[in-house]
Amino acid sequence: MQKASKLPSLGLRPISTDRSNDAKSIQPPRRNDSSPGTATTASVSSKESSEKPQLKTNIEVCARIRPLEIQTGSAGFFEAPSQRRRTLSKLPKKQAPGTMSKQGEICCWDVSEDGETAAQSENTETVTGRTNSFTLDKVYGMQSTTRQLYDNSCHSLVKAAMEGYHSTVLAYGQTASGKTHTMSGTKDSPGLIPLCIEDCFRYVRECQESREYMIRVSYLEVYKEHIRDLLTGIPQPIRIFDGPKGLIIRGLKEVVVSSPQDVFDALKSGEGRRQVGSTHMNSQSSRSHTLVRLWIESTPSDGRKGSSTRASSLSLVDLAGSESVKLNGLERREEGHYINKSLMTLGQVVLTLSEGNTKTHIPFRDSKLTRLLQPSLSGNAQMMLLCCISPQVSHLEESHNTFKFATRAKKIKQKAIVNVADDENTLLQNYRDEIADLRKQLEEAKQQQRLIKEVPFDHKEETDEEVKELVSAIKTMERLILKSRPHHTPVTPRARVASPRASEMMLDDTLDELNLQDDSDDDSQVAILSTTPGNEMLSTPTKDEEALSIELGRIRGLLGTVLKKKGISEDDPYIQKSLDFASPVRSPEMVREVEHLRHQLEEQEANTNLRKADSSFLQSQLREKDQLLEEVSKVLEQVELRQAELERENAALRAEAFALKAKLSRHETDYECANV
Ligand SMILES: Nc1ncnc2c1ncn2[C@@H]1O[C@H](COP(=O)(O)OP(=O)(O)OP(=O)(O)O)[C@@H](O)[C@H]1O
């Protein structure tokens, strides 16, 4: 994705809005004691931010019963218009949710008044000896909204993730039970994923501590036991393996994001690549398990090294639903086998964990899904399991199975801990170092600018350009580091997330000096801060990611020129070291990307050379033309002189002819007179 000219010759590590994560390790968090908190259930408020997140000692397990009759055909939250469902006319029309469908079908689950128990309705057939009532942390009935679910059961997880705890939301349930509807939602009713994302950025704005945040997003799916990167769409499966510090996911793309809209844009691009197909139960059935993961790093704003840099993740998982494979076509049947098998492994893992015997083997390695979920299920993270239930009698058996799974999962213990990372391993620290490097170079460039005030105009312009590019590189990178503001600073609706620090003001001054356009108030900032209720997710789109990469590429090219001018070779061990540091392990994608960038640089250089050649050729042509013109005008002058001369001669001749004629006529008259 990153477009740039030859890799920076300034000893810079590549700056990118996306990070291809060549060897990402998810470290299983250590066990530790944690104190329960007192967070409320509304969205993050400034008061609440100062309190400890509400940590659960067991997996929080909720169920949501979807309405009997459902609205189909509305565009999903991350769906592009072109992805709209085409089977609209074949599906039932929207009807108000109720306890009985138009066809006289009834909901077979009653929810207790305290909202914690789902019991099989008396009007439905019961099986002797089977449990018919299930008590969970919360059961959301048919009338519930995703917003209520988010506020009551999900919001505290987001808070925990922002404060350094690995957190996971997992949607489980049979096919067509409403998992995707609850996780992604629609434009009118956003799901848990967009609500979580909004809340993460709101948290940054309103956090009581003065912290800097860096957030990245990745998006993958597990399809037929292959992991696929939905952000790149590269068909080759992503490989995972166990490293010394935990699970390693090789080559997964991560995009650095600075606003909810950035994340939505990234997910929208991945949405079209998700495996979705029509089954006998669901016209838009997810044929894969999907995992949206936000990587959150934060440090105190004063930039103290070795202080508490937190690195956590918020994983949002939409599982494919269990289904009866018999009723589907061949392709769907094969997919269904994979789906059911991996869900069975998940069931086994949950069963083993719920028994609490630490000596029993836990079959995490038996499926890609459970391997990916291992860090979330290992006990040191926070997790909310959402079991989606179809209310129909025909789905009663499956619903019982889902409730059984939920009851088992509820027994799994967890003791979440804050994850502290080595500064050196965090992207946030890398960016900070990068910015410090750029600032140093900016100082040098400005110094140089001062020294060459007397030199010819051309050279000065070049230095101005360098300074301009350095300033804009710093600003671009700084925009990706999100800064919280202490609670006594009022937050105005369209204020910046990042408080303008002295250094930023200096950059602005530099831009003013150079009479440049400051693009720091671009749409991405507005998107972060737009607080109009309801409009937040539809706020102004951010600057196009690709354009940003191209711009960064340009900057790097220019920085390369600066290095060249300073006489520093690319083979310089320092430069090599920096470049190596930037990419400790070079994946095929990175090598390809570097090749691509190199190719672009060569093209740019060739174009520049061509332009130069063109320009000097034109100049020589112009000079020749000037000379020619001069000569022509000289000739013209002579011609004019000659013409004037000739005209004069002509006039004289005409006068002479006239005189001769007169003389002749006189002679003729005299002659006639004489003859007479
Ligand atoms: N709470 C709800 N309110 C309105 N419509 C809903 C609700 N839950 C689900 N639906 C609708 O039911 C249909 C099936 O839901 P959805 O696709 O979310 O199921 P799923 O569990 O993700 O299925 P699968 O596992 O096959 O992907 C969709 O048309 C969806 O819009």
Shared-domain flag, residues 455 and 385: no
The answer as to whether 500 is a domain residue is yes
The answer as to whether 648 is a domain residue is no
As a whole number, the mean pLDDT across the chain is: 73
Collapsing DSSP to helix, strand or coil, 254 comes out as strand
Shared-domain flag, residues 509 and 545: yes
Residue 176 alpha carbon to ligand 1 centre in Å = 5
Residue having the nearest C-alpha atom to atom 30 of ligand 1: 181
Is the pLDDT confidence value at 592 over 70? yes
Shared-domain flag, residues 343 and 443: no
Q: Which residues contact 574 (CB under 8 A, 6 or more apart)?
A: 11
Shared-domain flag, residues 109 and 182: yes
Please indicate whether residue 71, judged by its CB atom, sits closer than 6 Å to ligand 1: yes
The number of beta carbons lying within 10 Å of the beta carbon of residue 261 is 25
Quote the domain boundaries for residue 608. 425-613
The reported pLDDT for the residue numbered 58 is 76
Shared-domain flag, residues 463 and 379: no
The reported pLDDT for the residue numbered 261 is 93
pLDDT average, residue stretch 35-39: 29
Residue 471 alpha carbon to ligand 1 centre in Å = 49
What are the start-end ranges of the H helices in 27-104? 46-49
Shared-domain flag, residues 337 and 467: no
The answer as to whether 650 is a domain residue is no
Shared-domain flag, residues 402 and 430: no
Shared-domain flag, residues 357 and 448: no
Is the pLDDT confidence value at 582 over 80? no
Separation between Cα atoms, residue 215 and residue 541, nearest integer Å: 18
Please indicate whether residue 285, judged by its CB atom, sits closer than 6 Å to ligand 1: yes
Is the pLDDT confidence value at 376 over 80? yes
Shared-domain flag, residues 216 and 307: yes
CB 148 within 8 A of CB 158: no
The answer as to whether 133 is a domain residue is yes
Residue having the nearest C-alpha atom to atom 6 of ligand 1: 70
Q: What is the pLDDT of residues 237-294, one digit of tens each?
A: 888 888 777 788 888 898 999 899 999 999 998 888 888 777 777 777 888 999 999 9
The verdict on ipTM greater than 0.95 is yes
Is residue 517 very low, low, confident or very high in pLDDT (cuts 50, 70, 90)? very low
Q: What is the pLDDT of residues 183-240, one digit of tens each?
A: 999 888 899 999 999 999 999 888 767 788 889 999 999 998 999 999 998 888 888 8
What percent of the chain has pLDDT above 70? Answer: 64
State pTM to two decimals: 0.63
**Beta strand pairing call for 382-389 and 60-65:** parallel
Residue having the nearest C-alpha atom to atom 1 of ligand 1: 66
Is the pLDDT confidence value at 62 over 60? yes
Number of domains, the chain: 2
Is the pLDDT confidence value at 492 over 70? no
CATH of the domain at 372: 3.40.850.10
Here the tokens at position 673 are 């007179």
- Alpha carbon separation from 16 to 20, 59, 542 (Å, rounded): 9, 36, 16
The answer as to whether 673 is a domain residue is no
Q: Of the residues 409, 442, 464, which one is the last residue of a structural domain? A: 409
Shared-domain flag, residues 600 and 488: yes
Shared-domain flag, residues 162 and 295: yes
The answer as to whether 560 is a domain residue is yes
Shared-domain flag, residues 223 and 166: yes
The answer as to whether 235 is a domain residue is yes
Q: Which residues contact 30 (CB under 8 A, 6 or more apart)?
A: 380, 417
Atom of ligand 1 nearest to the CA of 276: 27
The answer as to whether 312 is a domain residue is yes
